[in-house]
Chain A
Amino acid sequence: MSTTLERPALDTPRKVPTAKDTGTLLKGQKRTGWALLAPALLHSAIFIVIPVVAVLVLSLTDYSFGDTWSWVGFGNYADLARDVDFLASLWHTVLYAIVVIPISMAIALAVAVGLNQKIRGLGFFRTAFYIPTVTATVAIATIWLWIYNPGSGLANGFLSLFGFAPNRWLADPATALPSLMVVGIWQGLGTKIIIYLAALQGVSRDLLESADLDGASRWQRFVNVTWPSLGPVQFFVLITSIVGTFQVFDLVYVMTRGGPGSDTRVLVLDIYQNAFQDLKLGYASAETVIMMIVIAAFIGVGRLLQRADTND
C-alpha cells in the first residue's frame, strides 16, 4: 500500500492558491461532501429512522393492514402484560441472553489468549473457529437439527460412547432451550475471538515485559495488565452480543418453531407471528418497543459493569 502513496505527477509546476481560490475550493469540498453523504443519509432516514419512530407510533394503535384503525393508547401494553406467549418469549430471550453472552465471551477470550501465544497453525485455528460464523444460521440450524435427532443423531451417538441413555434434546421441554443455547454459543465464538485477538495484539508489550521482570505470574500479568487494557473492546463485544442474542430468530424458527409447547418461544418469533400471521401490527409494535427497552436496559447494565470494572 505504501508504494501507491507516491504521487506520480510531481514535476508539473504548482500554482500557489490565492485566498480567493481557497474559498471556492472549500466551497467545492463542502458541496461534494454533502453530495457524497446524501444517498446514505436518505437511505438511513427512510429505512431506519422513520421505521424506529413508526414503531413507537404504531404501538399505540390497533393497525392491521386494513384501511381503518384507531388509537388505543396503552391498550396494547396492557394486553401484553397478560399475554402468556409474550411473557414466555420475553423470559426465554432474557434467559438466552444471560446464559449465552457471558459464556461465549469467556470462551472466546480464553481461546484468543491461547491463539495469541506463538503457536503454529494460527490460520487453521482462526478459520476453524470462524467457519460457524460465516455459515448461514439456517444452514447451522439444519445441521444441528440433524445432530440433535433423537433417533440417529450425532449428539446421542456421542452420549452412547460414554454409556449414557439417549436424550430427546429439542423435543424435551427440559433440554430444548439449553440445546439452542449451545448452538448460539458455538456459532458466535468466531467474531468475538477475532476481535479479542486483534485487541490482545495491541496490549502494551513493554508493560507485560516489565511485569514479567518484576516476577508477576502469568495469571497476575493477565489480571493486572491484559484485562484492564481490553476495556473498550470488552464493551464493544458486549454490546454487539446483546444486540445479537436478542435478535435470535432463524435458529429457533428452523429448529423448534418455539416448541415443544412454547418452551423455546423467543421475542422475535413472537413478534413475527403476531405481525405477519395474525396481522396485529400495532400489537407487534408494542412488543418491539418492550424489546428496545430491554435491550437498552441490558446495555445500561453493561456500561455500569464496565465502569465498576475500570474504577476498582
Chain B
Amino acid sequence: MTSAALPSTGTTVSRRPSSLRPGRIALYVVLIVGALLMIVPFLWMLLTSFKSDLEVQQFNWLPGELRWHNFVEAMQSAPFLRYFRNSLFIAVGETAFTLVVCTMAGYALAKAPIRGRKSLLNYFIVLLLVPFQIILVPLFMIVKSIPLFGGNNILGHGGIGWLNSWWGLIIPLGAAPLFTFLARQFYVSLPDELAQAARVDGLSEFGIFLRIMTPLIKPALITIAVFQIEAAWNGFLWPLMITTSDEMRPLQLGLAIFSQNPAEIQWPYLMAGTALATLPMIVLFVFAQKRFVEGMANVGIKG
C-alpha cells in the first residue's frame, strides 16, 4: 500500500512522540482493530469467492483450495463482461463531460470579471445541496421528453427521449455543482498576475484558461476525475430507472440482479463478481490517494 504522508506541519503536541508509552500502544491497538473492522468484510468477500458451493453451507474462514475458475464461471453466468464495458463507457464519458463543463464554469466563477459573480457562486453552492433523489421523478420525465431524440418530436412528445440511451445515462448526472465549486476553489487561489502577463503577450481569454490556468490545477482535475469515475462506476438508482434493456446495464445493476433471489444465490459466484466490480475502484483510490485526499479536504475547508 502506498503510504502518502500528510504535510509535516501536524498539530501534534505530544512531547515524546517516538517513545512507546501505554497510551500510544492503546492508540495503535484501537486503530488497528478499527482498520481490521473496515477490511475484514472485503477479505471475507475474497475468501468466499474461492470457495465451493459446499463450503459456503457452514461458517468457516478459509477455502479448501483457491478455485480461480469461480471467477471465470461468474463471468459466464451473467453477461458481466458487457456490464463491465458499459460501466467503463459511462464512467469515461461522464468524467470527460464533467471535466470540460466544470473547469470552464469554475474558472469563470473564480476569475471572470462578470456582474453577479458572487450570486452565481451562491447559486451553485445551493444546488450542491440538492440530492439527486429529490428530483428523481421530474428528472425522469425531462429525460423522457428531450426533443428530437428517441422518436420525440420537437416538443418532446411521442417517443422515449434519452431513456435507454447513453445520453441519458451520461449527461443528466454529469457536471455536478460540487465539481464546479471544487474547480472554482482551486482557480481562485491562482495569482491574477499570471493571466495578466499572458494577456499582455496576446493570448486569447480562452487560451489563458486552457493553456495557462488549467494546467496549474492538476490536483483538482485529478480529484474531480477520481470522484466522478467512482460516482459513475458505483451508480445504481439512475441506471435502474432509465435502462430497460440488458444491452446498456452497468455493472452494479448486474450485481443487484444477481443477488435478487435469496434462495438461489450462489455466494461464491456473487462474491467473485463483487470482487471484480470493486477492485478497479480500490486500485484507482490507492494510486490517486494523495491528490484525492488534498482535493477532498479543500472542498470541506475552504468553503
Chain A residues in the interface with B (C-beta under 8 A): 1, 4-5, 7, 9, 12, 14-15, 17, 25-26, 28-37, 39-41, 43-44, 46-52, 54-55, 58, 111, 114-119, 121-132, 134-147, 149, 151-154, 156-157, 160, 186, 189, 191, 194-195, 197-205, 208-209, 212, 221, 226, 232-233, 236-237, 239, 243, 246-247, 249-250, 253-254, 268, 271-272, 275-276, 281, 284-285, 288, 291-292, 295
Whether B27 is near chain A, meaning CB under 8 Å from some CB there, is yes
Check if B274 sits within 8 Å of A143, measured CB to CB.
yes
Q: A131 to chain B: closest CB distance in Å? A: 6
Q: Which of B2, B59, B135 interacts with A52 by CB under 8 Å?
A: B135
* Docked CA distance A138–B297 (Å): 26
Q: Which of B39, B200, B282 interacts with A134 by CB under 8 Å?
A: B282
* Docked CA distance A104–B285 (Å): 22
> How many chain B residues touch the partner (CB < 8 A)?
118
Check if A203 sits within 8 Å of B11, measured CB to CB.
yes
Chain B 234-267 interface residues, beta-carbon cutoff 8 Å to A = 234, 236-237, 241, 251-253, 255-256, 258-259, 267
Q: Which of A29, A111, A152 interacts with B57 by CB under 8 Å?
A: A152
Beyond A47-B172, A49-B127, whether A157 also contacts B59 by CB under 8 A is yes
Residues of chain B contacted by A31 (CB below 8 angstroms): 205
Residues of chain B contacted by A149 (CB below 8 angstroms): 267
Beyond A111-B31, A114-B30, A131-B282, whether A205 also contacts B274 by CB under 8 A is no
Q: Which one of A39, A142, A189, A236 has the highest number of Cβ atoms from chain B below 10 Å of its Cβ?
A: A142
Q: Assuming A37-B114, A118-B14, A128-B38, what are 5 further A-B pairs, CB within 8 angstroms?
A: A30-B114, A33-B111, A40-B101, A116-B12, A127-B1
Q: B202 to chain A: closest CB distance in Å? A: 9
Check if A239 sits within 8 Å of B129, measured CB to CB.
yes
Check if A43 sits within 8 Å of B175, measured CB to CB.
yes
Residues of chain A contacted by B30 (CB below 8 angstroms): 114
Beyond A134-B285, A160-B59, whether A36 also contacts B107 by CB under 8 A is yes
Check if A201 sits within 8 Å of B9, measured CB to CB.
yes
Check if A247 sits within 8 Å of B177, measured CB to CB.
no
* Docked CA distance A164–B301 (Å): 45
Residues of chain A contacted by B216 (CB below 8 angstroms): 1, 4-5
Check if B112 sits within 8 Å of A54, measured CB to CB.
no
Check if B271 sits within 8 Å of A146, measured CB to CB.
yes
Q: Which one of B123, B205, B255 has the highest number of Cβ atoms from chain A below 10 Å of its Cβ?
A: B205
Check if B301 sits within 8 Å of A205, measured CB to CB.
no
Check if B175 sits within 8 Å of A40, measured CB to CB.
yes
Residues of chain A contacted by B140 (CB below 8 angstroms): 275-276
Q: Which of B31, B134, B256, B286 interacts with A127 by CB under 8 Å?
A: B286
Check if A145 sits within 8 Å of B259, measured CB to CB.
yes
Number of A-B contacts (CB under 8 A): 344
Q: A160 to chain B: closest CB distance in Å? A: 7
Residues of chain A contacted by B277 (CB below 8 angstroms): 136, 138-139
Bits for B187-200, please: 1 = Cβ < 8 Å to A, else 0: 00001001001111
Could you write out 7 A-B pairs with CB less than 8 Å apart? A40-B175, A48-B177, A201-B6, A275-B140, A276-B140, A281-B137, A281-B141
Check if A131 sits within 8 Å of B31, measured CB to CB.
no
* Docked CA distance A144–B44 (Å): 10
Check if B293 sits within 8 Å of A194, measured CB to CB.
yes
Check if A143 sits within 8 Å of B4, measured CB to CB.
no
Residues of chain A contacted by B129 (CB below 8 angstroms): 239, 243
Q: A214 to chain B: closest CB distance in Å? A: 12
Check if B139 sits within 8 Å of A7, measured CB to CB.
no
- Nearest B-chain residue to A46, judged by Cβ: B142
Q: Which of B28, B132, B138, B285 interacts with A55 by CB under 8 Å?
A: B138
Check if A233 sits within 8 Å of B301, measured CB to CB.
yes
* Docked CA distance A249–B253 (Å): 13
Whether B124 is near chain A, meaning CB under 8 Å from some CB there, is yes
Residues of chain A contacted by B174 (CB below 8 angstroms): 43
Beyond A139-B274, A191-B296, A271-B136, whether A40 also contacts B102 by CB under 8 A is yes
Whether B64 is near chain A, meaning CB under 8 Å from some CB there, is no
Residues of chain B contacted by A132 (CB below 8 angstroms): 38, 41
Beyond A124-B3, A201-B7, whether A37 also contacts B104 by CB under 8 A is yes
- Nearest B-chain residue to A123, judged by Cβ: B3
- Nearest B-chain residue to A136, judged by Cβ: B234
Whether B48 is near chain A, meaning CB under 8 Å from some CB there, is yes
- Nearest A-chain residue to B270, judged by Cβ: A142
Q: B69 to chain A: closest CB distance in Å? A: 20
Beyond A29-B112, A126-B289, A284-B137, whether A138 also contacts B256 by CB under 8 A is yes
